[in-house]
Structure formats: structure tokens, C-alpha cells
Amino acid sequence: MNSHKTTPAGKTRGRGLKLPFPGAPGEHNAITDVAGVEVGVTTLISGAGKLVVGAGPVRTGVTAILPRGRGKAQVPCAAGSYALNGNGEMTGTIWIEESGELQTPITITNTHSCGIARDATIEWLVRHGGGNVQDWGLPVAAETYDGDLNDINGFHVKAEHVIQALEGARGGPVEQGSVGGGTGMICYDFKGGNGTASRVVKVAGRNHTVGAFVQSNFGQRPECTILGVPAGRHLTGDELRGKPAGSIIVVIATDAPLEAHQLKRIARRVPIGLARTGGIGHNSSGDIFLAFSTANEAAFTAKRGELRRMEAVGTGDIDPLFEATIEATEEAIIDSMIANETMEGRDGNRSVALPHDQLIDVMKKYGRM
């Protein structure tokens, strides 16, 4: 399918280069293949040259993920989170750990805009929910650092940008690369940012979808591994960051009926997909993951005093969902680099795109094409 090979803007994805990713993707090979999930972005790009704090250059944005879409933003989902390394932020996870529920949209942005993303989400929920909104909220807002390219201390992400991303969230194909919160990010010293992928697997006789969304901003060039090939050792030069710094946020969605503790187990499998690409969880990296299930909607709309009745996948049947999580995470990270372009930011700092032709040559050398 075209959406497996290219993004809506026409950027080539890994499957467009004929990389042999394992597993069966969903319709769009995106987190939105999980029915109801919507993604929206606001991308902020302006200015060039020398950094002037407060003026730019600006290379940043915000991404919004709505687990049940805008029409059901007030309906919780079962959820679980996990941090491989905690030098980062994802708000709201203490309540998720306590309650086993994700009760808000998810936003992802740069480190110094995480607070405004959180607060603007509350504002949007109050406006959007009318009389149905609860009197308090603990939104999930996550971040990675884009200060190598962006005027991060200029605080260019405003509440209206967050609300724009929430209002613009849609299903279907998802744009990738340097958009939304991923605009100014760097991955393995290539231009990084947003990436997504999905898998369809059979669990206990039913087909279920697992979707991954990443904001990739981590790793050093020599670590970069693509389908087992040490590509980063061959594709050297123009490393902007060149040090073990950065972070990655990963959101996993599924329509499989899972309990909160099972979703924490799903989140714990994300690092395996990360490791397949070469990630090691550097000390200064915030590697934070969240998994949610859109199943059992009726249970989460039950009123106080009513018993919840929920389905759940049996413990012994969960392995296909683990495998799908690992595969979708790996492909999403790789696509965040492949479906991208070279970007110049503050002070002329230049983050180069992963070169497609050279990558294909390396993959052929190792017999992977």
C-alpha cells in the first residue's frame, strides 16, 4: 500500500526502500490503525542563523495523540507505563501507576514546553468536555530536548499551538519525520523526530492491532543498527550532537483487551525494539514509554456504584502482542530517520538526513536487501 511506502507528504518510508521489516502491518502502518486513535501536530519553523533567545531560530512543535479520538476524549483507557532511563519527563504517570487508567490525551513536545503542553491540555479538556469534564485533570505530557537546533529557551510553543494539535488530530495516515514535537529532534546523529508503525497479530483466535508512535532523539552514530546491520559504523560524517545524550518517548496503542498490569508488561517490551536499533539507554537519555488499550470502552464509562465487566487476554496468550510491540517500535524509530530531511537550525547547526542510497548499499553489502 502507498501509505506503507510513503508518508502523506510523499516522504519515503523504510518499506519504500524495500527494507525487509518483519511482521504484518496494519492498513496505514501507523498507530492510527488502532481504531479510534487520532494524531495531530503543530509544527513551528522560522528564522535562520545566529541564536537570539526569544527570537529564534525556531525548530519545534507539539504532537497530540487522542486514544479514543476527540469525540471520546473523556473516556479513559486501561494503561501502563515504564521508564528504561529516567532523565526525562512524562507527566501523569504517577496516577496511571496508581489507577491503571489513562484519562487524557497525550502530548509530546520539547523539554521546556512540557508544562505548557500539560496545562493547555487541561484547558482544552475543560472547553471540549462541557459539563462532562471532571473537576481536576492530570494530563500526560512528554518531552525530548531539541536545543541543538531550536531556540528552546525562547518558549515558542504556546497554549494555542497545543490546542491546535489537539483540534487537528485525525485518523488515517500519519506524517513523520520533522513535524510536531519531533521537528527539532536528532536520532543516532541523523535527523530524527516522529515515527510510527503497526502490526496485526492473532491472539486467542482474534486479530488485534498494535501501533507504536515514537519521538526519537537519542543515540550515537556508531550505535545505529538497521535490521541487524551496523549501518551507523559505515555512514559516518556530519555528526551534530556526537555524544551520548537525548531521549525517546514511545506510545503503544492496541485494541486488544488488556488489564493495566498487562499494559505495563507491553511497555516493558519497548526497550527490546529500541535495542534492535542500537539503543542502550544512555545515562543522560530519557527513555519513557506508555501503553494503552482502547478495548472495554463500556467498562470505562460505567458510573460509580456499577460493577465493571471487562474482557482480558489470558496471560499465556500475550506473546504475539509482545512481538508486535517490539517490531512496531523498531520500525517506527527507523522510519523517523528515513522519512526525514536535513535541517539547519540555530547558529547554523545542521542535522543531516539518513542517506537513502548509501543505506541501501550498506544493507546490500550485508545481504539484507
Q: Which of 3, 198, 216, 247 is catalytic?
A: 247
81 classed as catalytic: no
369 Cβ contact partners less than 8 Å away, ≥ 6 residues apart: 18, 19, 20, 360, 363
Q: Which of 81, 178, 285, 336 is catalytic?
A: 285
Q: Are 19 and 12 in contact (CB under 8 A)?
A: no
Rounded distance, CA 221 to CA 233, Å?
7
Q: Which of 189, 287, 293, 336 is catalytic?
A: 287
287 classed as catalytic: yes
CA distances from 178 to 43, 137, 158, 181, 289 (A): 8, 30, 19, 8, 20
274 Cβ contact partners less than 8 Å away, ≥ 6 residues apart: 84, 248, 250, 281, 287, 329, 330, 333
N-terminal to C-terminal alpha carbon distance within the chain: 19
Q: Are 149 and 48 in contact (CB under 8 A)?
A: no
33 classed as catalytic: no
32 Cβ contact partners less than 8 Å away, ≥ 6 residues apart: 38, 39, 170, 171, 172, 173, 174, 196, 211
Helices (H) and strands (E) in the chain, counts: 9, 14
| Kind of pairing between the strands at 106-110 and 101-102 | unpaired
Hey, which residues are catalytic here? 247, 285, 287
